[in-house]
Structure 1
Amino acid sequence: MNEKTRTPRYRDGGPIVRFDKVGVTYGSGTQALRNVSFELESGGFYFLTGPSGAGKSTLLKLMYLALRPSQGRAQLFGVDIGSASRDDLPMLRRQIGVVFQDFRLLPHLSVFDNVAMPFRVRDVPLSHYAEDVDDLLRWVGLGGRIDALPETLSGGEQQRVAIARAVVGKPSLLIADEPTGNVDPEMGARIIRLFIELHKLGATVVIATHDLDLVRRSGAPVLQLEAGELTQFPGLEPGAKARR
């Protein structure tokens, strides 16, 4: 990766994510999360699981700065996101890569330009990232589709574009929502290997998934949500109850 395409990395040395009794209540009065407390170490690899409606999407939104907590304290990169100013948020977001479940590709842009978006919004010259984007698209099997528009791609191809866009800048924190849900098992395994390689380079990885076999095979720490509360999280001893 060219040095000029990189964003400054988190260097504090403490947990990269810290939640302390965090709750989220939406305008309708629905409490999506309650008393959620955990820490994720910098450079860790984690899975987020739980049934539909458990609060996984809300937790992810907090972690990629699309939402602020209603109660408690949430910190990313050592910054309290509840009190952070709007001026602080863009620099924090540059350190986060997100794979959305609904892809969120820009329909009028080519595959190449969608993946290059993290650099385009920062006005990084094309010469500084073109090779990185080309290499990554070949790696995910889309080297022959760089000029294609999203509407011409299959669901699995669109997902691979979304994944490439999330990881191309080598984020400090990579968040993925069901990243293997629309691809075949072979490509799913390849995507997980890509996340593992980024983890080896120092990224903290959080993958939300319903694939419990994948979680068990990985042996990675798990955050498990049920009805808006954590029932399992890194550091909780087997058989112990989550603190309230």
Structure 2
Amino acid sequence: MNDYKITNKFLTVTVTETGAELTSVKANNGGYEYLWQADPKIWKRHAPILFPNVGRLKDDSYTFNGVKYHLPQHGFARDIKWDLIDKSSSKLIFQLESNEDTLSKYPFKFVLQAVYELKNFELKVNYIVKNTDNKKMIFSIGGHPAFNANFKNTSISANQREFDRYTLNGNYLNPSPIGKINFSYAHKISRSDFLNDALILKADKDLTELFLQTNVPDSESDEKQLERSTRIA
């Protein structure tokens, strides 16, 4: 398994070829690690790419054109080796193409790319999905990053004022909203937000941006708190 790094004045970023998964986003000043470091006792991943399905299908299966297929929770892209097709000091492009194994689970030909690019104190992540088949392709795609944050001083803000809020019913999404969450002001995260598993929000069709903001140490020996802002969606 190969790991690849990009770096600039502010950050050093590491991505592994398995799943093209982001595994580290570290500040060069002070060495703070922004990304969860995959403690297997809690959660063994860092930031998997979910494709061609986000979430779990009923009985982990579906039928297309009369044929039944099996897909695990969050798809297969996170567990497959991707090809590194372009690399510079500040940019990595990984690619995954359909093959006999993927076609046995998901009967569509595709090319999927993950692009990681550093720009100052910001890491931009883009997913590009190309349909190389002769039929309409059905898919969903998502990021699943986990960040190191402190509940005492972490909040979420957004460019959309209000979201419908949903919850899970067992392994599946409850289709009826349980209420709304208001982002007129930054929403301070607490453990109560996750009593029913994930905090699930319905966004507008237009571009929606969420910002996770937390205070982190400027250095291990310095008690001064340095505010960082990380774009998460």
TM norm structure 2: 0.25
Q: Which has the higher contact order (CA 8 A, sep 6+)?
A: 1
Q: Quick check: which one's helix share is greater? A: 1
Instruction: Name the one with the larger strand percent.
Output: 2
